[in-house]
């Protein structure tokens, strides 16, 4: 009887450990999928800033977004491969709707709305990447998030400076 109890306890412990690893895998896979969608959206937003922006600062920030998020997406795709994730084909519908909303603007109005959007978006991204980077299980998603954080923080600082410039210009 005691062998049966011990076997049952061991089996339930192993199931819990397996579930915990599986849950973490699922979280990492969801994070990396979202990161790839976000990188693709940021590249498109950067292109939009280069074509719709009025100020050189916004156009320059747009070019930086394209370069940095293209590079980040290469790393995110590598992480996805390690995690067994099929990468998404493009940004989410919400991200495309945000892009389309901003695409209707131009000049100073675009600069102002774009800068505000970038501040909000990068604050949200930094919170998500920080959470992922602090996961106890080291995997490709955690490594990617940790390495991407400094770039996202640089983008936030730049976006915040754009909001200051656009407010002074008005």
What are the per-10-residue average pLDDT scores of the chain (170 residues)? Answer: 47 42 74 98 98 97 98 97 96 98 96 98 98 91 97 98 67
Whether 14 is in a domain gets the answer no
Whether 10 is in a domain gets the answer no
Whether 16 is in a domain gets the answer no
Say how many domains are in the chain: 1
The CA distance from 109 to 68, in Å, is 25
Residue 16 structure tokens: 């819990």
The CA distance from 91 to 84, in Å, is 20
Whether 2 is in a domain gets the answer no
Residue 82 structural domain: 24-169
Instruction: Check: CB of residue 98 under 8 Å from CB of residue 117.
Output: yes
Whether 107 is in a domain gets the answer yes
Chain centroid offset of residue 104 CA: 24
We report the CATH number of the domain holding residue 125 as: 1.20.1260.10
Whether 8 is in a domain gets the answer no
pTM of the model: 0.83
Instruction: Check: CB of residue 65 under 8 Å from CB of residue 46.
Output: yes
**In the prediction, which pLDDT does 16 show?**
42
Q: Which run of H or of E encompasses 124?
A: helix 107-133
Whether 7 is in a domain gets the answer no
């Amino acid at each position: 009887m005691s062998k049966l109890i011990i076997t049952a306890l061991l089996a339930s412990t192993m199931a819990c450990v397996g579930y915990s690893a599986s849950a973490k895998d699922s979280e990492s896979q969801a994070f990396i999928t979202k990161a790839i969608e976000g990188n693709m959206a940021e590249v498109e937003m950067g292109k939009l800033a280069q074509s719709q922006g009025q100020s050189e600062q916004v156009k320059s920030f747009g070019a930086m977004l394209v370069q940095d998020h293209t590079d980040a997406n290469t790393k995110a795709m590598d992480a996805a491969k390690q995690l067994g994730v099929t990468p998404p084909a493009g940004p989410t519908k919400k991200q495309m709707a945000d892009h389309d909303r901003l695409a209707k603007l131009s000049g100073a109005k675009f600069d102002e709305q774009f800068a505000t959007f970038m501040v909000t978006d990068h604050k949200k991204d930094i919170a998500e990447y920080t959470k992922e980077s602090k996961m106890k299980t080291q995997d490709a998603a955690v490594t990617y998030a940790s390495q991407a954080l400094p770039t996202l923080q640089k983008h936030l600082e730049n976006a915040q400076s754009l909001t200051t410039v656009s407010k002074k210009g008005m």
